[in-house]
Amino acid sequence: MFAYIVRRLAYSFVTVFGVLLLLFVLFFLVTNPDDIARKAVGEKAPPQALEQWKKNHGYDKPRFWNRANPADTMLVDHFRRMLTFDFGNSDADDTPIWRRLRSGAGPSLSLSLPLFGLGLFFTLSLGLLVAFFRETYIDRMGVVLCVVAMSISTVLYIIGGQYLIARVLRWFPISGFDPTPAVIARFLAIPVLVGLLSNVGDSVRFYRTVFVEESNRDYVRTARAKGCGEARILVHHVLRNSLVPILTQVVVAIPLLVMGSILLESFFGIPGLGSITVDAINANDFATLRTMVYLGSLLFILGQILTDVSYTLVDPRVRLE
Amino acid sequence: MDAHLLSNAVVLALLGGLLWALLSARRSRAWRNAGRELLRRRPIALTIFVVYVAIGLLDSVAWVGASAGGVTPGGDTVSLHKPRSAIDRLFPDQRYREKSYSAPLADREFLGGAPLHHPGRHLLGTDILGRDVLYQTLKGARVALLVGGFTTLIVIPLALLFGVVAGYFGGRVDDAIFFLISTLASMPSLLLLIALIMVLGRGPVQVCVALGVTGWVGFARVVRGETLKLRELDYVQAARALGASDTRIVLHHIVPNLMHLVVITFVLTFSGLVLSEAVLSWLGIGIDGSWGRMIDQARDELSRDPIIWWNLV
């Protein structure tokens, strides 16, 4: 198991290398540093200001090969900084990117953690409920509702939720954020609700399929023959045996919770990492965007490793080697 | 090359492909029966599909003012030089505009109550600039068709090429391609999409290319797996024993057997892409005139009082 994790980490390092290479191609080869500088300093800035800005942000070095000092190129610099998590300053307003990350992680987590926990609880319960009533009209209605819910774009849920709850019923503010514990829930209520609604259809349908397939197995029939109650069968036998496909879906998302949700945050005005990404697009802040893509990939790879490890916890037959 | 020519070409190519598929399908009895069955069981879905494609097409056959030199229905000089599509011609566009908001079928302006130019003729009302909402919705159909069509035209050949090559040849080639696939797959797709669009610049073609680059990975993986399976089947072995070249085996024995996957993916990515475009528009980096952009504009109206609800529908 330990050896497996070490090997997995070694392999993910190769993937991280690929990600960094791709980022280099995108941000240093396809985009011209002169363009970045011009966008940051201004169209009519004097050439000295442009040069100075490029020097400050490390865009003045040769891309691949520097005859005087082979280690002093943009390629080497890019790899070194990303691998040591030294992200430098924003291209747009020179604030250290680390400070931004720290300020954004809190609000992001305060939205994504409740969303993740509640979402998992509700979708699993609904999935079990629908599976309990399988092959009846309740089940059919459930599946139809799920398909309807899946077909609607998230964007519409957000607008609908804001309109109905904040405008018509006036229960909660339309958007905004305040980290003090007393009022934070008021601002998070609608985003969490909308987030729940927008993926309930997808997940419930998936869980239902898994549960129904599992409840046709022989061991379930045996349990029923021995007089086990239907509810107990679902929770103790079916749920436990369907954990592997469920974990495949769920565990990958856990590390990415820190990144928050781009859509929900930017729409509801929550100053998390998702909003920072959107701001970076609008401000042509290439350095911040680069960092976000890199961190996102790292967390995603971490999630995949965690998924594999989590299999061994729920299914003793799985052995990683 | 003008933008409208490119988009015409894409949509016409789609239509051509569809017609060719229909014609070749008519020749075999199995397909004829399938078609009849579809017509009998799903008449409504089929009608919606045909109407949707027709709207997109009507809007795509744009041509530069046929009455160049004469007076167009719009009646002013600008419209002479701009390509106008069949749908533009259905709506007498220049005069069809109002000054500001109006409710569906209203005959007065929403604010102030000034009489409209076309009382009762805006079936879905007008937006802040007085543009007809129904007209914009119909125009949006073409953008959706364009995003879906153009991007799937990028995704499917790319995925087929990489997937088949990796699966068929194996070894080093497979390693290299699989490295590319796993690298792309390990980046969160929305972030990668944003980065691509920011780097490539904004515009319809760029958005399609970015969607294409992020979209082909999953399908390529499926194709690779399927090719690995097909490669070992008896008839492929037989073809190889008979001395068929690699190209011939791939084109005649492997690719045709992947077509069912292509059809399924085509349909699924098509609708998925239209939704992703909505998300992108909503972040402010989508395509002008798409449905996503309309939603994006309409969301500003929410915070306004009184609410301009008909833009949201």
Give the span between the Cα atoms of B183 and A23, in whole angstroms: 11
Calculate the CA B281 to chain-centre distance.
14
Task: Report the DSSP beta bridge partners of residue B64.
Answer: B83
Name the DSSP letter for residue A163: I
**How much is the ipTM here?**
0.73
- SS3 sequence of chain B: CCHHHHHHHHHHHHHHHHHHHHHHHHHCHHHHHHHHHHHHHCHHHHHHHHHHHHHHHHHHCCEECCCCCCCCCCCCCHHHHCEECHHHHHCCHHHHCCCCCECCCCCECCCCCCECCCCCCCCCCECCCCCEHHHHHHHHHHHHHHHHHHHHHHHHHHHHHHHHHHHHHCHHHHHHHHHHHHHHHCCCHHHHHHHHHHHHCCCHHHHHHHHHHHHHHHHHHHHHHHHHHHHCCHHHHHHHHCCCCHHHHHHHHHCHHHHHHHHHHHHHHHHHHHHHHHHHHHCCCCCCCCHHHHHHHHHHHHHCCCCCHHHCC
Domain ranges in chain B?
1-94, 136-300
N-terminal to C-terminal alpha carbon distance within chain A: 6
Alpha carbons within 13 angstroms on the beta-carbon side of residue B50 total: 8
Per residue of chain A (321 residues), give pLDDT as tens.
Answer: 788 888 888 888 888 888 888 888 887 777 777 777 777 677 676 777 777 777 777 776 777 766 666 667 777 777 877 887 777 777 777 778 888 888 888 888 888 888 899 999 999 998 888 888 888 888 888 888 888 887 776 777 777 777 777 766 767 776 667 666 666 777 777 788 888 888 888 888 888 888 888 888 898 889 989 988 888 888 888 888 888 888 888 888 888 888 878 778 877 778 888 888 888 877 777 888 888 888 888 888 888 888 888 888 888 777 766
Calculate the CA B221 to chain-centre distance.
23
Of A273, A303, A304, which is closest to residue A288 (Cα–Cα)?
A273
Strands B63-64 and B83-84: antiparallel
Under an 8 Å CB criterion, which residues of B touch A?
179-180, 182-184, 186-188, 190-192, 194-196, 198-200, 275, 278-279, 282-285, 292, 295, 298-299, 302-303, 307, 312
Per residue of chain B (313 residues), give pLDDT as tens.
Answer: 455 566 666 667 777 777 777 777 666 666 677 777 767 666 666 666 666 666 656 555 554 444 333 333 433 333 334 444 444 445 544 444 554 444 444 544 554 455 555 554 555 555 555 555 566 666 666 677 777 777 888 888 888 888 888 888 878 888 888 888 888 888 877 788 888 887 777 777 778 888 888 888 888 888 888 888 888 888 888 888 888 888 888 888 888 888 888 878 777 777 777 777 777 776 666 666 566 666 655 555 544 433 333 333 3
Give the span between the Cα atoms of B127 and B4, in whole angstroms: 25
- A159/B312 Cβ within 8 A: yes
Distance from the A305 Cα atom to the nearest Cα atom in chain B, whole angstroms: 12
Calculate the CA A268 to chain-centre distance.
17
**What does the pLDDT look like over A121-167, one tens digit per residue?**
999 998 888 888 888 888 888 888 888 887 776 777 777 777 777 76
Q: A245-268: buried (b, 16+ CB within 10 Å) or exposed (e) per residue?
A: ebbebbbbbbbbbbbbbbbbbbbb
Nearest CA in chain A to B198: A281
- Hey, what are B200's tokens? 């490539």
Contacts within 8 Å (CB) and 24+ apart, B249-253: B249/B168, B250/B164, B250/B168
**Which residues of chain A make contact with B279, given a CB cutoff of 8 A?**
153-155, 263
Phi/psi at A6 (5° precision)? -60, -45
Distance from the B192 Cα atom to the nearest Cα atom in chain A, whole angstroms: 7
Nearest CA in chain B to A18: B183
Distance from the A171 Cα atom to the nearest Cα atom in chain B, whole angstroms: 15
- Hey, what are A58's tokens? 């490390």
- Hey, what are A179's tokens? 């980290």
Distance from the B306 Cα atom to the nearest Cα atom in chain A, whole angstroms: 11
Give the span between the Cα atoms of A158 and B279, in whole angstroms: 12
Q: Which fold has domain B136-300?
A: MetI-like fold (1.10.3720)
How many Cβ pairs closer than 8 A exist between chain A and B? Answer: 95
A96 three-state secondary structure: strand
- B196/A155 Cβ within 8 A: no
Nearest CA in chain A to B311: A159
Cβ atoms of A253 and A116 within 8 Å: the answer is yes
- B182/A300 Cβ within 8 A: no
Distance from the A19 Cα atom to the nearest Cα atom in chain B, whole angstroms: 6
Give yes or no for A278 touching B (CB within 8 A): yes
Residue type, A73: T
What DSSP element (H or E) covers A151?
helix A137-151
Rounded to the nearest 10 degrees, how much is the dihedral formed by the CA atoms of B218, B219, B222, B226? -160
Give the span between the Cα atoms of B254 and B240, in whole angstroms: 12
